[in-house]
Amino acid sequence: MLIQELKGIGPKSVKTFEKLNIQTVEDLLVYYPYRYDFIKRSNFDSLKQDDPIIIDGTVENIPSIFRFKKRLDRMVFTINTGSNLLKVFIYNRGFLRSKLTPGTMISVFGKYDLKHHTIIASDLRFGKLPEHTTIESVYHETKGLSSKHINQFVLKAMALPLTLPDYIPSYLVEEKGFMNKRESVEELHFPSTIERLKKAFYRSKYEELFLFMLKIQCLKELNQRKRGVAKKIEEEKANEFIQHLPFSLTPDQKKSIEEIKQDMREEKRMNRLLQGDVGSGKTIVAFISMYFNYLAGYQSALMAPTEILATQHYESLKKLLKGKSVNVGLLTGKLKAKEKKEILKKLEDGTIDMVIGTHALISENVNFKNLGLVITDEQHRFGVNQRKNLKNKGQTPDILYMSATPIPRTYALTIYGDMDVSSIKTMPSGRIPVKTYVKMEEEIPWVLSKMLQELMEHHQIYVIAPLIEESETMSFETVDSLYEKMTKAFGKYFKIGMLHGKMKNEEKEKVMESFQKNEIQILISTTVIEVGVDVKNATMIVIFDSERFGLSSLHQLRGRVGRNSLESTCVYITKQKKERLEVLEKTNDGFVISEEDFRLRGSGELFGYRQSGDMNFKLADIKQDYAILLEAKKDAEQFFKHKKYLEEQNHYFKKILDSSMGLD
């Protein structure tokens, strides 16, 4: 049912709801509050300075209004609570003055100033406070749609005879004593008691996690059902290639390579995640896998998120295969029509054995003769459909996903239950750990001095800002402000460039190319540089307002330097106390850091792959609700094993399962 079918919602409101991604009444019903306010009259005698206060009383006098510039105002009046007379200050509510006549009963919400016996109010409501504690839902708002209005529309929607899809099998609802779906949704929007609200939360989180784990089971069975091609890899040539590499592989790289080789030899289609720390050598493992695939007589495709990274991989792969009769192609959006046509022809007739490219690889006109291996680098940066389109280019090509965001093993085994996981923890020899410092804002002179030292050594520097433009609500450094400051400090002698997400792709590529060629010495950027571009001459990275980032993101950013045998430095600048950031000074181990990040922040930024379309939870959080996840996992496995969903004939269930398994 479309949202405009709800009474009181016209064309203008429809557009406003769309800003919140609400297009149907069902979308509205799962647009849950982000917090709850507990409305209870304050005990006046126990209040301290600046404590929150909720109090009611009658208006004693006609309010006075003081007007400021830009149509701002401050209204002042006195209320009588029955035992106290309190002066109330409230801003930008002058329009209420005519209604606040002496004797009017109102409720005041705000902050108590004990010293002056006044209230700095944030909200006024007409009428007396309820005798008992009430729970009010608070929603994320948008211009033209307040939290109160959203709640009113939800109330209208709940009055409709809608059948809400329930994804928990009835036998589990009964077994676990869950309230029914409609009751839980109603309780989440209009809580009656704290106890029932908690039960509604548990039920709703369980449902989300049960459905997610059920999809994992579907994908697992689908992968097992899809037969791959058992590839014959010439062992002697494979070993000879590894032995003649210009460097030694780490034990973890060797183990991962063996796991991939074994997958390729089996009839079951490979579906493997290769995760490793920044600079751990995942790319060489991918290249060796492509060579194994070549020895078996098949084509390989590696998809990178940017043209610069694709070009970098292309050059590295050609260098590695020098002297071998392997044809490597590069397919990006930059190619001229004639060059692109030639590449497409060679892919189709099998002349090209390996191709590196961007999303251009998934275009409809790209056809392969016998694609046997698909690799996506920094795979969480591609949407689910993009990855699906590439792997569908062949009959049943083996799939290898690469991720530079290490995930704690305990969680990886659950979240990536439909995949095999290879982890690279040991770092290649010769890598010097990046020297890391956490500095307070007042220590910036030391940072500038360190930057000058690096620049005088003809090295390059990244400077990271959390924002592109100034914000009215956040006082963080921006790309523009840092560009001005760095120009003032170093602009006379060194070239400074700027990079951010609002620039066109061609502009970004051009700036990054200039930085790679050392035509730019200091690059001011947002986190868009996080993707693994290799600028070996960059030996320092300075990250402003570090407290705003998660530890895993900060570690990823640190990985932009130290990509050579030169000593490199990372400086995290913070306005706040630095205890949380100290783990980054103590270790360069991304797995240790991700564990700590997971403990502190939850799953938000770790599971990029699962969040790109199939891990979009409304209420559940993998870390905080891990116990519920394990419960849901066990139940989903049991449920799927016995195929009880077919017995239940649950329309919603069957549709979602068929969709996951590619049956619809």
Residue 463, burial from CB neighbour count under 10 angstroms (0-12, 13-18, 19+): buried
Handedness of CA 255, 256, 259, 262 (dihedral sign): negative
- Which position has the higher pLDDT, 158 or 502? 158
Q: Which distant-in-sequence residues (6+ apart) come within 8 Å of 338 by Cβ? A: none
Asked if the model's pLDDT at residue 388 lies above 70, the reply is no
Q: What is the mean pLDDT of residues 248-273?
A: 92
Asked if the model's pLDDT at residue 559 lies above 50, the reply is yes
Common-topology check for domains 235-424 and 435-587: yes
Among 80-89, 193-202, 267-276, name the one with the lowest average pLDDT.
Answer: 267-276
For residue 645, which amino acid is it?
Y
**Which tokens hold the place of 319?**
């260098």
Alpha carbons 506 and 288: distance in angstroms, whole number: 31
Alpha carbons 399 and 272: distance in angstroms, whole number: 6
Is the entire prediction scored with pTM above 0.75? no
Q: What is the mean pLDDT of residues 447-455?
A: 94
Q: Which distant-in-sequence residues (6+ apart) come within 8 Å of 586 by Cβ? A: none
Among 130-134, 199-203, 281-285, 427-431, name the one with the lowest average pLDDT.
Answer: 427-431
Confidence of residue 409 (pLDDT cuts 50, 70, 90): low
Asked if the model's pLDDT at residue 605 lies above 60, the reply is no
Confidence of residue 654 (pLDDT cuts 50, 70, 90): low
Confidence of residue 476 (pLDDT cuts 50, 70, 90): low
Q: What is the mean pLDDT of residues 583-610?
A: 67
Q: What is the mean pLDDT of residues 219-230?
A: 74
The pLDDT value given to residue 531: 55
CA angle 361, 364, 365 (to 5 degrees): 85
Confidence of residue 267 (pLDDT cuts 50, 70, 90): confident
Find the length of the chain: 664
250, 255, 259, 260: CA torsion to nearest 10: 10
Coil vs helix vs strand at 517: coil
Using an 8 Å Cβ cutoff, are 296 and 290 in contact?
A: no
Pick the most confident of 298-302, 305-309, 524-528: 298-302
Q: What is the mean pLDDT of residues 388-413?
A: 72
Asked if the model's pLDDT at residue 450 lies above 70, the reply is yes
Among 74-83, 191-200, 438-447, 477-486, name the one with the lowest average pLDDT.
Answer: 477-486
The pLDDT value given to residue 382: 39
User: If phi over 0 gives left and psi between -120 and 50 gives alpha, with beta otherwise, what is residue 491?
Assistant: alpha
Domain residue limits, the chain: 41-132, 170-225+625-664, 235-424, 435-587
Using an 8 Å Cβ cutoff, are 594 and 405 in contact?
A: yes
Confidence of residue 474 (pLDDT cuts 50, 70, 90): very low
For the stretch 165-217, pLDDT in tens is 888 888 899 999 999 999 999 999 999 999 999 999 999 999 999 988 888 87
Confidence of residue 456 (pLDDT cuts 50, 70, 90): very high
The pLDDT value given to residue 664: 37
The matching CATH number, chosen from 3.40.640.10, 2.40.50.140, 1.10.10.10, 3.40.980.20, for 41-132 is: 2.40.50.140
For the stretch 102-151, pLDDT in tens is 999 999 999 999 989 999 999 999 999 988 889 999 999 888 889 999 99
Asked if the model's pLDDT at residue 386 lies above 50, the reply is no
**Which tokens hold the place of 363?**
């275009």
How much helix, strand and coil, in percent to the nearest 5, is found in the chain?
A: 45, 20, 35
Q: Which distant-in-sequence residues (6+ apart) come within 8 Å of 643 by Cβ? A: none
Alpha carbons 611 and 615: distance in angstroms, whole number: 4
Residue 501 has phi, psi (to 5 degrees) of: -65, -20
Alpha carbons 487 and 496: distance in angstroms, whole number: 7
Using an 8 Å Cβ cutoff, are 623 and 602 in contact?
A: yes
- The residues facing 85 across adjacent strands are 80
**Which tokens hold the place of 441?**
């804002």
Sheet of strand 460-464: strand arrangement: 435-440, 569-574, 538-543, 460-464, 522-525, 496-499
What is the CATH code of the structural domain delimited by 235-424? 3.40.50.300
> How many helices (H) does the chain have, and how many strands (E)?
23, 21
Confidence of residue 612 (pLDDT cuts 50, 70, 90): very low
Residue 254, burial from CB neighbour count under 10 angstroms (0-12, 13-18, 19+): middle
Distance of CA 421 to the CA centre of its chain: 21
Confidence of residue 608 (pLDDT cuts 50, 70, 90): very low
112, 103, 147, 185: CA torsion to nearest 10: 100
Alpha carbons 213 and 511: distance in angstroms, whole number: 43
Nearest to 29 by CA among 207, 195, 185: 185
Confidence of residue 345 (pLDDT cuts 50, 70, 90): very high
User: If phi over 0 gives left and psi between -120 and 50 gives alpha, with beta otherwise, what is residue 177?
Assistant: left
- Which position has the higher pLDDT, 289 or 553? 289
Pick the most confident of 106-120, 386-400, 618-632: 106-120
**Interior/surface letters 589-607, b for 16+ CB within 10 angstroms, e for the rest:** bbbbbbbbbbeebbbebbb
The pLDDT value given to residue 392: 57
Architecture category of domain 435-587 in CATH: 3-Layer(aba) Sandwich (3.40)
632, 637, 641, 643: CA torsion to nearest 10: 30
Alpha carbons 105 and 79: distance in angstroms, whole number: 9
E strands, 428-578, in order: 435-440, 460-464, 496-499, 522-525, 538-543, 569-574
- Which position has the higher pLDDT, 617 or 295? 295
**Which tokens hold the place of 410?**
């305990």
Instruction: Quote the percentage of the chain above a pLDDT of 90.
Output: 45
